[in-house]
Copies of this chain bind each other. A is one copy, B any other.
Amino acid sequence: MMVPPAVALGLDIRVLAESEGSSAQIAATAVGDYRDAGTVLAFARDVDVITFDHEHVPQDVLAALVGAGIAVHPKPAALAVAQDKLVMRRRLSAIGAPVPDWAEIAGAAALGTFLADHGGRAVVKTPRGGYDGKGVRVVDASSGADDWFAAGGPLLVEELVDFRRELSQLVARRPSGEVRAWPLVETVQRDGVCAEVFAPAPRAGALPERASALAIRIAEELDVTGVLAVELFETTDGGLLINELAMRPHNTGHWSIDGAVTSQFEQHLRAVADLPLGDPAPIAPWSVMINVLGGPEGATMVERYPRAMADRPEVKLHSYDKTSRPGRKVGHVTATGDELDDVIARARAAAAFFQG
């Protein structure tokens, strides 16, 4: 999704894709393993700056790039915080950012102690590799994470936060320090996966100012370059607690492609190229983004375009994959407009053509 703004701005973009036929194939593409330092170094030889669309590039590969004199954004030290949830919690706690109660636990006994202190239920997370609800589990018994402990390594345990809703604050920051914040958005999760995003977050009072100040502080303290997504809980007493961080364009920012003057993908390109950041202002009072998940039938979004486009000519449609896999995000739709209820209804009507 960085290709369209790169084409518009006339910035050369090269992609190191995991496999032939992946979504990234449209751009000048190499195919190779991002975990192999030699592969990544060879790919990087002709570029000015390297960035990522996920956080999983190993630190030894990042170190090899930096050692070869290649600009890497976000930098390895910042990315390390997004790569490991225990590192993230430690760093956020160290800078005094609001996080749920948490502990690093090495076994069932420690989990039992945490459960006893937190009403008998808690969230256990694997430090690495989780996404879209994977690697996250609610437990109510000290034996509830035995399989993960058996797989080795410590786990993160957190209090089950009593929240009103989930929010997301995205900011972008350049190496030279400039930072810009998009409006705070509300995110609706289903089965651990982002389902809908309302931009800006409705009825948010003073939360936007607090959320953007918090995200900017995190970006600065952690020296984040590029887009930083701060996923937040709005607690039942009106507070904010940080759920997760991501250092890349993020699903909760997809609304900005069609709903903001500068999309998160254009902004990420500007930021990692150390170009002045664009205006993140919305282009309409409301934008609503709805994810499309692959269904069991396997019809692609494109095959369903005729009916969806005929019914909703004003909704923007995005398809990522040629093949639909059950439960996998295969695209999204975005509606914009003046009345929130109307925008939600139009986005849902469009999304419905691609579901089931």
Contact = CB atoms under 8 A, between A and B. Distances in A.
Interface in A309-354: 309-310, 313-314, 316-322, 331, 336
Question: 9 tightest CB-CB pairs across the interface, nearest first?
Answer: A10-B319, A4-B4, A276-B309, A279-B314, A276-B310, A279-B313, A278-B313, A3-B7, A4-B7
Contacts of A320: 10
A274 to B, nearest CB: 9
Contacts of A284: 283
A13 B302 CA distance: 14
8 contacts: A1-B8, A3-B3, A4-B7, A8-B318, A10-B319, A276-B305, A276-B313, A279-B313
With most chain B CB atoms within 10 A of its CB, the pick from A7, A13, A321 is A7
A351 B343 CA distance: 34
Nearest to A178: B310
Interface stretch (A22-30, A140-148, A154-162, A215-223): A22-30
A245 interface: no
Interface in A274-310: 275-279, 281, 283-284, 300-302, 305-306, 309-310
Interface in A260-277: 261-262, 270, 275-277
With most chain B CB atoms within 10 A of its CB, the pick from A27, A276, A279, A300 is A276
A257 interface: yes
A26 B9 contact: no
With most chain B CB atoms within 10 A of its CB, the pick from A5, A270, A284, A316 is A316
A11 interface: yes
With most chain B CB atoms within 10 A of its CB, the pick from A262, A313, A336 is A313
Interface in A2-46: 3-11, 13, 25-28
Contact of A319 (B9, B180, B275, B331): B9
Nearest to A319: B10
Given A10-B319, A279-B313, A281-B314, 7 more contacts: A1-B8, A9-B302, A9-B317, A26-B27, A276-B309, A276-B310, A283-B336
A219 B3 CA distance: 33
A53 B278 CA distance: 29
B7 A313 contact: no
Contact of A262 (B9, B11, B306, B313): B313
A9 B318 contact: yes
A26 B3 CA distance: 9
A294 to B, nearest CB: 13
A24 to B, nearest CB: 10
B7 A306 contact: no
A19 to B, nearest CB: 16
Contacts of A319: 9-10
Contacts of A283: 283-284, 336
A25 B313 CA distance: 30
Contacts of A306: 275-276
Nearest to A320: B10
A127 to B, nearest CB: 34
Contact of A270 (B4, B270, B300, B309): B309
Nearest to A10: B319
Contacts of A27: 26
Interface string A177-193: 00010000000000000
Contacts of A313: 180, 262, 276-279
